[in-house]
Structure 1
Amino acid sequence: MTVVLQRSAFVRLQVANVSSGVANGVVMITVPWLVLERTDSPARAGLLAALVSLPGIFVSPIVGGLIDRVGRRAVSALSDLLSCLSVLLFVVGEVLGTLGFFLIAAFAVLGAVFDPAGYTARKALIPNAAEASGMAVEKANGRHEGFFAVGWMLGPAVGAWCIEVGGPILAFALTSGMFLLAAASVRSMRVHERLAAHHEEHEHFFDGLRSGWRVLRADRPLFVFTIGLTLMSGMYMPIDTVIFPTHFESLNDAAGLGAVMSAIAFGVVVGAFAYGRLAKRLAAPVLLRIVVLGSTLALLPMGLLPSTTIFVVFAFLTGMAWGPFNPLWNSGACSLSTG
């Protein structure tokens, strides 16, 4: 069947991209705030952060194969629709008066199951949307990352505003609408899309996963890089999912929490855009050391829990120092796939 392409395909993809970024940014500060508000227990907030990380560990490795077999638009739209429903469960639970810690944890973990698939499927759609819109893929990639970062930056501020005005439940209601908009935008795209060749050759699903694992293991620097990223992410996670929310919830300052999280995201955007120039002047190992040391040094003063203004300044510096990491990681992955 002939597909009539849309010049607006890339715009529609970016509507979904920004909407999802905002929605995830809202959830990032609203869930721990809700737990602390209902239980006054940082330990439970930490437990929830650990539980929410588990779905990504098990889902992420199979997402690529799922997209190859089901389709990029279908996986993206279905993932966002299910995310919308999982967030609506918070609203339903509150209306019914049953929203305690265990239901909050269950709904949060359920939502975390769908995020990796939607995020990956949208990135996989970039070449299709670029082709339909007559745009170079490299340019489309850069704009896609930039728009997602903007959404991720706006999300915490929007979440903080919702908490201040109407409480966490208003934030969840708005988030469900953002996920629904993302699903509708991707579903309305008309692009050339076909299943991967290995699907047509009936390669077994888990054989493909094992093949990818062997390729990664064969590149020792990238493999060590991946393990290092996993460990650093695990160590940092309690900071923005437990420590920051606990501090600002104790001050009843949702706006302060939103400002800090948005400052980190804004810093990441600045650092990421600076990567191109930095990469021309610095070798990858040197740049990696600067990223790790710089972000660590900028993060340390926040451990003293200073005033909100100083908090925001160091949050921005932390994000800016860390910003080149993702482009650096992408470059390593691309060199593996093209080497």
Structure 2
Amino acid sequence: MMEDVHGADGIPGKRSLRPLGGVLAAIAVSLTGTRISAVALPWFALVTTGSATQTGLVAFCEMTPYVAVKAFTGPLVDRIGPRAVSWTTDLASATAAALIPLFHTLDLLSFPLLLALVALIGAVRGPGDLAKEVMVPEAAERGRVPLERAAGLAGATERLASTIGPAVGGSLVALLGPMTGLVVNAGCFALGSVLIGLALPRKMGDAVEEIPPPGGETGTGYWRRFGEGFTFLRGEPLLLTVIVVVGVTNLLDAGLTTVLTPVWAKESGNGPTAIGLTGSVMGGAAVVGSLLAAVAAHRLRRRVVFFTGFLLAGAPRFLILASDAPMGAVLAVFAVSGFGAGFVNPVLGALLFERVPRRMLGRVNALGDSLSWAGIPLGGLIAGAAVASVGLVPVLLAGGAAYFVATNLTGLRSEWREMDRAGGRGAAKPQLDEAAQSTRTNLTT
């Protein structure tokens, strides 16, 4: 049912779930393609080069441009509008992804060329992911969906992609080879471009007009916008602490996903299907966790949910792979970890929704994501070098210990108390025009 409503800018509009559904669908297909590629590309690099170090280098060359470009495109997303940025970058990602199997078929795909194409994919994927995240609060407002629920649905969508993508990727790699997975990845990016460019309502995702400061300066310059994002984050100790914690866990997750799990799958004889199974089981359990968080997380203490989720999501995965356990036990641990992980991002998303003005969504989102993702390019590189030096099991044990320390000792810091106050029953309900924020410091698993 549609009805007239007034948006945060005071302009009458129609209430509809179509905008939120369209954005979530675009997120789903693009992330599904990315998760398929996350199985196909490391496996292709590992079996063709036989080197864990070079496999880590492939991940490094994708994620370094991703993080760097995403950090600096926030002001441009705010200025141009997230819709235009999203569909154009997805189209560019589809083209770059399609070139890898094309050049491989023509026997022209050297390792340096592979690294260059992977770097190009990362560079254009960063702004595309950012733009979709920025559109979530506007879509939620148009549908009158509460922000915490929108964050939970977005988290569930991401986790669903993490379930379907690895399963499809593992099956495609096992049956048809890794290049087929990259072709499907290109198709997913193309579909995401179509959804954003054609399926969303008109004027959805346009740039938000800047409010001039009291001094009368418009503040439309790129570096002024960029500086505003840094100034805002510098005044938010809780957000900075969250970013640092998740930055460490993202580094560890990247090493596990891009290098340690493929090496474990190869050495254990389980093959690429095991990579897909572990990712899918964890993703499926995370979908359940995210949906439960969307319903109930606002009634719980955020600190308890946050740290319990990380306790389940982190160290157990490293330890079970190091223990030479049977596949059933591995899948059970990954399921428990996924369930815990599903509670983390909705809580973080709701927390950030409350704190960042909409006009600054792009720049603050970009800076927060880039800082928290800064370690991801190094995760695979460090893991690959460490495995080559000391072997798989010691690296898994060290990774599990580091994960436990990073996500528990930081809970003693005083700024975490603000998380509970923001989520308490007496907290004021945030206004969408001042605090609609779609930054989600995403786990990579």
Q: TM-score scaled by structure 2?
A: 0.69
Matches of residues 102-113 of structure 1 in structure 2 within 5 Å?
A: 102-113=112-123
Q: d(CA) in 2 for partners of 1:325 and 1:136?
A: 20
RMSD between superposed Cα atoms in Å: 2.6
Equivalent in 199, 202, 207 of residue 195 of structure 1: 207
Deviations 1:283-313 (A, max 9, x none): x333333233333342222222422222211
Q: TM-score scaled by structure 1?
A: 0.88
* Matched-pair contact (CA < 8 Å) for 2:41–2:182: no
- Residue 323 of structure 1 aligns to which amino acid in structure 2? G
| Residue 278 (structure 2) pairs with residue 260 (structure 1) | yes
Partner of 1:314: 333
Which shifted more, 155-164 or 315-324? Answer: 315-324
- Residue 203 of structure 2 aligns to which amino acid in structure 1? H
* Matched-pair contact (CA < 8 Å) for 2:83–2:197: yes
Partner of 1:147: 157
Q: d(CA) in 1 for partners of 2:140 and 2:348?
A: 23
| Residue 302 (structure 2) pairs with residue 292 (structure 1) | no
Partner of 1:269: 287
Aligned residues: 335
4+ residue stretches of structure 1 with deviation over 6 A?
A: 3-7
Q: d(CA) in 2 for partners of 1:129 and 1:232?
A: 30
Q: d(CA) in 2 for partners of 1:161 and 1:296?
A: 26
Partner of 2:53: 43
Matches of residues 172-187 of structure 1 in structure 2 within 5 Å?
A: 172-187=182-197
Q: d(CA) in 2 for partners of 1:101 and 1:24?
A: 20
Please give the secondary structure, in 1, of the residue aligned with 2:109: coil
Equivalent in 66, 79, 82 of residue 89 of structure 2: 79
- Residue 173 of structure 1 aligns to which amino acid in structure 2? V
Deviation at 1:242, TM superposition (A): 0.1
Partner of 2:384: none
Distance verdict in 2 for CA 1:234–1:33, change over 3 Å: same
| Residue 136 (structure 2) pairs with residue 126 (structure 1) | yes
- Residue 148 of structure 1 aligns to which amino acid in structure 2? E
Partner of 1:207: 224
Deviations 1:297-334 (A, max 9, x none): 42222222422222211111122222222122223323
* Matched-pair contact (CA < 8 Å) for 2:159–2:342: no
Which shifted more, 115-124 or 78-87? Answer: 115-124
Deviations 1:204-236 (A, max 9, x none): 112222211122121212211211111221122
Gaps of 5+ in 2: 1-12, 213-217, 357-429, 436-445
Please give the secondary structure, in 2, of the residue aligned with 1:153: helix
Percent of matched pairs sharing the same residue: 21
Distance verdict in 2 for CA 1:332–1:136, change over 3 Å: closer
Q: d(CA) in 1 for partners of 2:26 and 2:338?
A: 24
Distance verdict in 2 for CA 1:293–1:143, change over 3 Å: closer
Which shifted more, 249-258 or 161-170? Answer: 249-258
Q: Which structure dedicates a bigger proportion of its chain to helix?
A: 1
* Matched-pair contact (CA < 8 Å) for 1:69–1:199: no
Deviations 1:77-101 (A, max 9, x none): 1111011011111112211212233
Deviations 1:28-59 (A, max 9, x none): 11110010010011111122223322123312
* Matched-pair contact (CA < 8 Å) for 2:289–2:342: yes
Please give the secondary structure, in 2, of the residue aligned with 1:274: helix
Which shifted more, 151-160 or 64-73? Answer: 64-73
Please give the secondary structure, in 1, of the residue aligned with 2:132: helix
Q: d(CA) in 2 for partners of 1:304 and 1:65?
A: 47
Gaps of 5+ in 1: none
Which shifted more, 109-118 or 198-207? Answer: 198-207
Equivalent in 229, 233, 236 of residue 216 of structure 1: 233
- Residue 79 of structure 1 aligns to which amino acid in structure 2? T
Partner of 1:160: 170
Deviation at 1:18, TM superposition (A): 1.9
Q: d(CA) in 1 for partners of 2:25 and 2:251?
A: 31
Q: d(CA) in 1 for partners of 2:39 and 2:132?
A: 23
Partner of 1:64: 74
Q: d(CA) in 2 for partners of 1:198 and 1:12?
A: 26
Q: d(CA) in 1 for partners of 2:244 and 2:171?
A: 37
